[in-house]
Structures are given as structure tokens and as C-alpha cells.
Amino acid sequence: MPIKIIVIGGGPGGYVAALRAAALGGDVTLIEKENLGGTCLNWGCIPSKIMKNTADIFLKFLKADNFGIKVQGSVSPDMTTLMEKKDKILESQRQGIAVLLKNRGVVLQMGRAVIKSKEIVKVISKDDDSKELDYDKLIIATGTKPLNVADFPFDHHHILSSNDILQLDAVPESLVIVGGGVIGCEFACIFSALGAKVTIVEALSRLLPLPAVDEDCSKLLLREMKKRKITVFCDTIVESSDIKKDLVSIHLELSPFTDNPKPKKLKTNVIEAQKMAVCIGRSALSSDLGLENIGLKTTPQGWIDANEKLETSVQGVYAIGDILGPEKVMLAHVASHEGIIAAQNAMGDEGIMDYDVIPGAIFTMPEIGTVGLSEVEAKKKGYDVEAFSVNFRSLGKAQAIDELAGIAKMIVEKESKKVLGVHMIGAHATDLIAEATLAIQKGLSAADIAHTIHAHPTLAEIMGEVSLKACGKPIHG
């Protein structure tokens, strides 16, 4: 008899787990309560990149004269058409996932899943019909939702979640974004490009205050944001907000959480904007799953713990994706790989999840790509390191496409020149980081990359240039 696998959640972790389990011979059912693709496809990665693409094109139009193009008449964003395009792409992608599942023999059940016992999951449909399904192994991939802060809760009109901001029918004249992390910085760049007056409020001392992002990338991003007239308050929190005459009045305080020993005094304690978007975290979707019925406890925040095989404390029950919480890595591509590993283990084919080499892709303007250790983190781990940087403006391709802002930074072990980390900010950095990911995964040295011929003229030459510099043989960098 085939092993019966139930996967709860059809996001990038869940649907990939279902496909892999089915490919390994499992009798697989996938339960999804809303839309296939999860947060990534419906409320995150894909819709925000559709919007970023429009913002990029719009900026090009504004600089058309620089490219030898004359634009007659006015050019302005059309949010209605953009939202229609976004919805069309998302529906196409959802249908594509559904076809993949059908072709692999995965049964799709739409509805809310409630775990009844160690053998039974109930599926409750939108019209309250229910059915019970039995399983041998269970994979939980329910993900997260935007964190709602009690001091300034979402009203979905003035105070927005990251979901709300993806459904705006007009570009606001002014927008305050609470949180200078990945989501906040991406939205700041998009809406600034589309014409909004954007302000970011960040509690820590820098934008993108993540161990995985080198400080030099944060500094360059701040410089580029200032060029775009984006106002940034670091070392600052939002204490409260209230609505006055259709504007959000936002009250600021110095942050008690900052890592800056000498934060500057605030120049103002109150700012106003049409909209305030809260982008300071995610909360777990685990409270109504019935985990208590199988004795599976969560952390106080609702996260589920799992071992290196992605198995929870309950035998035969696995957890993947964002439901594992921030102690793991909350990225769509990580969830997909976790899905593969969990499915293999559920089907009896041993697999171990390795988090050592994971690329990060941040779609700011310019983009940021990271992999491996930052310079600070490498030193904390006791490595004797050297760091080398090359500007994107040294590349002929960067000059040709008028994308000069950016650096590539390589961190190497001093004696062996083994590559420990690469952090870059610049045009198409999210694509370019793939080469560095492979290099670190395979334990390559800077010399290995330097001796690899990179096509000219391409942005990929940045890896060759920074590797040559790390070897003490710079050409253009």
C-alpha cells in the first residue's frame, strides 16, 4: 500500500512537498484554505515584483532623454491597470500549480484543515461542509500572516498591512512605512518610484538590520534612498498613531531597541501621511490547526520546532516553511527545499536540511543579493578574514545601461582565500548572486572564480573583478 501523505498548506513549501512525495510514490492529498501559491505567490514575492517591474519601467520613462528617447505628453502610473495585470499573472500561476498537482496525481482539497488525531485530518470547506481524511504522515506548511500591532492596528484604509498595500487602487501622495527590513525597503523603493513621498521608520541603527546583509549594502541603499528623496528615521519607533482629517498622525520616539550607543535626537516627534504601512514582522498560522489533538506544542509565538529532518516532536509529523519561525530562514526558496527534504523523509528516503549556504534576494532599487557570511559575522565566528569591494560603475555593461550605483563585496579567509561570503547591491544583484552561492557551496576560492572567464560585456563580470581583487590582481576593480 502506498504511504498516505497529507500536506496542509499550498504555498511554495507545501505544494513542492506534495509534488516530491507523489513523485516518490506517495498517495498525496494537499489541503489549501485560500489560494495555491501561499503568501509568496499571492501576497509577497510575485505581486511585489510585478509592481517593482512597473516602477522600474516608469523610472526609465522619466529618464528617457538620457537614453536618446523623446517622450511626448505626460507619463503617469495607472494603478488600476497594474492591479489587473497583477491579478491576471497570479491566477495564471495558480492554475499552473494546479495542473502540476493534477499531473502528479496529487488530490487537492480546498478548505480549512483541522487535525483531529494522529491519523485523521478534517477538511472544512467555505460552505461548512466537512470530510475526514486519514494519513500515515503529515506535513504542516501553513505559513504566516502580517503581524498586527496592538498600538496601531490595521484598519485596511489608513493603516495598512503588507497585504493591503498590494491592493491599492491609487498611489498615495504620502506613505510612512514602519519597518526598514526587506518588505519595508522594497515597498519604499516601489512607491517612491511611482511618485509617493515615502518615509521609513526603523527601530535599529540601519536599514536591513539583518546578520545576512553586510553593513556596506545598507549604507549604499540609504545613500540611494536619499537621492530618491526617501526620508529615513533609524533608531526610531512609532509610539502611536491617530487619524485626523483623513491623514494618519504618527507619533515617534527614540527606539529602546536600537544597537546604536549614541542615537541622534529626533528632529520631530510627529509626522503625517495619507497611509501608514506596517511591515515589522509576521505571525504564525498555527492557532486553529488542532495541534493539541496530537500533542504537538508550539513556542509561545506559535512557531513549530522541527529537527534537521524537518520532523516535529510528534513522530511522522513534519513542519516546513515560515511556520518554523525566524530561528530558521523565512524565505520561499528555503521553504521549497524544506518541502523536498520533508517529503523524502516522510517517504522513507533520508534527507537532511542544511541552512549553511542560502542566497538572499532583496528587490530594492538597486537590488541586493547576499550569500554566506557578512564581514562582521565572519569575524564573530573567529575567521581571520579579508574583504574586497568593487564598484558596479567599473563595468562597461553598467555604464551602457545607466545602472552605475552598486558594489560587490567578497569576504575571504585570509590565508586560503576561500570564499566565505559575497554581498552585492546593484543592478540585477538578485540574479548575479547565484554564481557566488555555487562557489560557497562547493568551497571554492577567489582564485577559482578569478580563473573562470566571464562573458563581456555583462554584469556578471563583477564576480570576476572582485575575485581578481581578492587575489591581489585587480584589472578594472
Numbered ranges of CATH 3.30.390.30 in the chain: 366-470
47: left (phi over 0), alpha (psi -120 to 50) or beta: alpha
pLDDT band at 245 (very low <50, low <70, confident <90, very high): confident
- Predicted confidence at residue 18, as pLDDT, reads 98
Judge whether residue 315 has pLDDT over 90.
Answer: yes
Per-residue b or e along 102-133, where b marks 16 or more CB atoms closer than 10 Å to that residue's CB = eeeebebbebbbbbeeeebbbbeeeeeeeeeb
Q: How confident is the model at residue 214 (pLDDT cuts 50, 70, 90)?
A: very high
Q: Which pairs count as long-range contacts for 207-210, CB under 8 Å and 24+ apart, including other chains? A: 207/180, 207/232, 207/234, 208/180, 208/181, 208/182, 208/362, 208/368, 209/180, 209/181, 209/259, 210/181, 210/182
Could you give the residue range(s) of every CATH 3.50.50.60 domain in the chain?
4-146+283-346, 159-280
Q: In what order do the strands lie in the sheet with 112-115?
A: 112-115, 120-124, 130-134
Q: Which helix (H) or strand (E) holds 190?
A: helix 182-193
What the block records as the C-alpha cell of 87 is 491579478
Q: What percentage of the chain reaches a pLDDT higher than 70? A: 100
Residues of the chain with pLDDT > 90, as a percent, come to: 96
Question: Does residue 325 contact residue 298 with C-beta atoms inside 8 Å?
Answer: no
pLDDT in tens, 406-451: 999 999 999 999 999 999 999 999 999 999 999 999 999 999 999 9
Superfamily, domain 4-146+283-346: FAD/NAD(P)-binding domain (3.50.50.60)
Distance CA 279, CA 270 (A): 19
Per-residue model confidence as pLDDT tens digits over 352-409? 999 999 999 999 999 999 999 999 999 999 999 999 999 999 999 999 999 999 999 9
CA atoms of 109 and 95, how far apart (whole Å): 15
Q: How buried is residue 55: exposed, middle or buried, by Cβ count under 10 Å (0-12/13-18/19+)?
A: buried
Q: Where are the alpha helices (DSSP H) in 5-145?
A: 14-23, 38-43, 45-62, 79-103
Note the pLDDT of residue 126.
Answer: 86
Mean pLDDT (the chain) is: 96
Q: Does domain 159-280 have CATH number 3.50.50.60?
A: yes
pLDDT of amino acid 2: 93
**CATH class of domain segment(s) 366-470:** alpha beta
Relative to beta strand 130-134, strand 120-124 is: antiparallel
**Residue numbers annotated as active site:** 456
Tens-digit pLDDT profile for residues 294-312 = 999 999 999 999 999 999 9
Confidence at residue 128, expressed as pLDDT on a 0 to 100 scale: 82
36-85 per-position pLDDT tens digit: 999 999 999 999 999 999 999 999 999 999 999 999 988 999 999 999 99
pLDDT grade, residue 1 (50/70/90)?
confident
Residue 477 has pLDDT above 80, yes or no: no
Which pLDDT band holds residue 320 (cuts at 50, 70, 90)?
A: very high
Q: What's the whole-number mean pLDDT along residues 186-215?
A: 97
